[in-house]
Structure 1
Amino acid sequence: MAQIQPLPTDQLEYDNLAQPVVALTLETQRNDSESAVHTHRKGQLVVAYGGGIVCTGEDGVWMVPSGFGVWIPGGVAHSNRVTANGQVCFLFVEPGAASLPDRCRTLALSPLLLELIRHLSGQAQDYPPHSRTARLASVLLEELELAPTEQLYLPLPASTPLRTIARALAQAPSDRATMASWAQQVAMSERSLARLVKSETGLTFGQWRKQWQIIVALQSLAEGLSVQSTAETLGYESVSSFISMFRKTLGTSPARYVRNTRLRQ
């Protein structure tokens, strides 16, 4: 179980610096850690160098495997959960310093960008303009603007019935109840539930639950669990069925996906 932690003082200090981009590296220990809901003045890129990160906002959940990052615009309320023994870097971007999305997005980060971020986190963050660090920071922001978006996102509906289902799935990801069963539990007709899911998430109920399973699977794999254990966590009767679902959704097998993310580190 993740332990809720207050926002580290370092993050608050970095958020107040005037430099166009600054970076802070943190490591978790044996237990998961989760920050309380908070906001930043600057935009924030949360980068996973080891383990994985789950970022939860008001309208969605973003998964960040190793080698990826989640972009959070300034002023957006969110919390971050880092898996046990994870390594995370927080990149703070001054408003207007780069052309970045105005909504939360999971970004695929190139090896060059990952190294630039890691390098910047080891420098003095109050670097002067026109210094070598400032020039490297400028290149970093140019590369960040080119980072492609990954579909590692689960929309969180606003309505009480769907929030109830989302909480239940979070607590028991192996639950294979049908939509008819869920509709009965939230006192709705199956047709009304289907319409509600579609209107609030843009997905069918099956697509929404499958996206939730992908988020849980990536988190499990990031924590170092085996493909078989992950399949069991999600309630699959066979590993092959889980692998088939994973491949259809992300275009590759779980084992290959893990290898590829490790190569990106």
Structure 2
Amino acid sequence: MIGLRLDGYDPDLHHDAAVAFCIRARDDELFSPRHQHRKGQLILALHGAITCEVENAMWMVPPQYAVWLPGSLPHSNHVTAGAELCFLFIEPAAVVMPERCCTLKISPLCRELILSLARRTDPERAQMPTQRLIQVLFDELPQQPQEQLQLPVSGHPKIRQMVETMAQEPARWNTLGQWASVFAMSERNLARLVVKETGLSFRRWRHQLQLILALQALIAGRNVQQTAQMLGYDSTTAFITMFKKGLGQRADPRPVSDGPGADPRPVSDGRVIASPQLKRPAPPQSVGRPARRETARRQVPYRPAARRRAAVGFPSA
């Protein structure tokens, strides 16, 4: 269950500076209705993805990312089937965090700190090692870079209809003219409505929705070609360009191992994401007198003495 209480656990009843725990969703998708917490909440996606709707915006949380929800902010959650998530709850005055909801790109160090805190038992949370871990975590969290993984939405019925329909059939509904015909209004008036309700042009708003849908499809197991076709792209290259421009990375949201000894994991195109770095053994050292270096002799063409002297500037004899 995702919501204010998780298996009977209410984080707001605890007054620790930070508490964390991990959960795994069931095999079917989960939806948590609108709720809120007194504490600030960081939702870290370990596997799968979660989409939060906050303040008329949808926030996508793929692996390697987390969404930050300030305390007392109403939100709802949609979790993909089998997703693994980690929740971090922070007292409002414990650390300076963004005042608005945002998506953070979590570093490997910050991720491991959160997971380590989630493994601590109740008696361990009061001990000094845990308190030092929390302090290091509080030093790292404000330094995590923010990413634009939100889709502005609105309570306006036309905007809601566009979001729901385009999410179901993204390849079919691509142009502003199509929606203008559906709503029996001019393209100019519809374009003004989209800007008024979302703050973005229809083109930018559609690309942001496509980015979120692409992340969901890639996380679900679709390859790049299938995802591009699902979104209506005629060219895979055009889709990759859109994805890289929006996220600054290639279209493969799976986490990359940071350790040099990680098991190699092949991706769809046959490349290896991470593999051990094997050092070439040094050649054996020779014992005794070192071998004489062979130097190449310069071949000088034969010239008579007079010609050789003239060539270097001496007067002929």
- Name the TM-score, length of structure 2 as normaliser: 0.75
**Relative to 1, partners in 2 of residues 1:70 and 1:6: Cα closer, same or farther, differing over 3 Å?**
closer
* C-alpha distance in structure 2 between counterparts of 1:264 and 1:149, whole Å: 21
Instruction: Find the residue that maps to 1:34 and give its secondary structure.
Output: strand
**Relative to 1, partners in 2 of residues 1:6 and 1:141: Cα closer, same or farther, differing over 3 Å?**
closer
Residue 262 of structure 1 aligns with which residue? 256
Flag the structure with larger Rg.
Answer: 2
* C-alpha distance in structure 1 between counterparts of 2:129 and 2:105, whole Å: 26
| 1:79 counterpart (76, 92, 106) | 76
* C-alpha distance in structure 2 between counterparts of 1:145 and 1:250, whole Å: 20
Instruction: Find the residue that maps to 2:243 and give its secondary structure.
Output: helix
Aligned length: 259
Gaps of 5+ in 2: 260-317
1:140-151 to structure 2, matched below 5 A, reads: 140-151=137-148
Superposed CA offset, 1:184-221 (max 9, x none)? 32233211111122223221100000100000101111
**Relative to 1, partners in 2 of residues 1:174 and 1:8: Cα closer, same or farther, differing over 3 Å?**
farther
**Relative to 1, partners in 2 of residues 1:97 and 1:127: Cα closer, same or farther, differing over 3 Å?**
farther
* C-alpha distance in structure 1 between counterparts of 2:168 and 2:15, whole Å: 41
Please tell me the residue identity of whatever aligns with 2:14: L
Aligned partners of 1:37 and 1:78 also within 8 Å: yes
Residue 69 of structure 1 aligns with which residue? 66
Normalized per residue, the structure richer in helix is: 1
1:135 and 2:132 correspond: yes
Please tell me the residue identity of whatever aligns with 1:48: A
**More off after superposition, 20-29 vs 170-179:** 170-179
Please tell me the residue identity of whatever aligns with 2:141: L
Aligned partners of 1:174 and 1:232 also within 8 Å: yes
Residue 24 of structure 1 aligns with which residue? 21
**More off after superposition, 93-102 vs 207-216:** 93-102
**More off after superposition, 188-197 vs 43-52:** 188-197
Identity %: 43
Q: Which runs of 4+ in 1 moved over 6 A?
A: none
1:1-265 to structure 2, matched below 5 A, reads: 7-10=4-7, 12-125=9-122, 131-255=128-252, 258-259=253-254, 261-263=255-257
**Relative to 1, partners in 2 of residues 1:264 and 1:101: Cα closer, same or farther, differing over 3 Å?**
farther
* C-alpha distance in structure 2 between counterparts of 1:75 and 1:19, whole Å: 17
Please tell me the residue identity of whatever aligns with 2:92: P
**More off after superposition, 122-131 vs 237-246:** 122-131
Q: CA deviation at 1:20?
A: 0.7
* C-alpha distance in structure 1 between counterparts of 2:10 and 2:225, whole Å: 43
Please tell me the residue identity of whatever aligns with 1:166: V
Q: Which has the higher contact order (CA 8 A, sep 6+)?
A: 1
* C-alpha distance in structure 2 between counterparts of 1:125 and 1:47, whole Å: 21
Please tell me the residue identity of whatever aligns with 1:222: I
- Name the TM-score, length of structure 1 as normaliser: 0.89
Gaps of 5+ in 1: none
Please tell me the residue identity of whatever aligns with 2:202: F
Instruction: Find the residue that maps to 1:102 and give its secondary structure.
Output: coil
Aligned partners of 1:67 and 1:262 also within 8 Å: no
Residue 289 of structure 2 aligns with which residue? none
* C-alpha distance in structure 1 between counterparts of 2:53 and 2:5, whole Å: 18
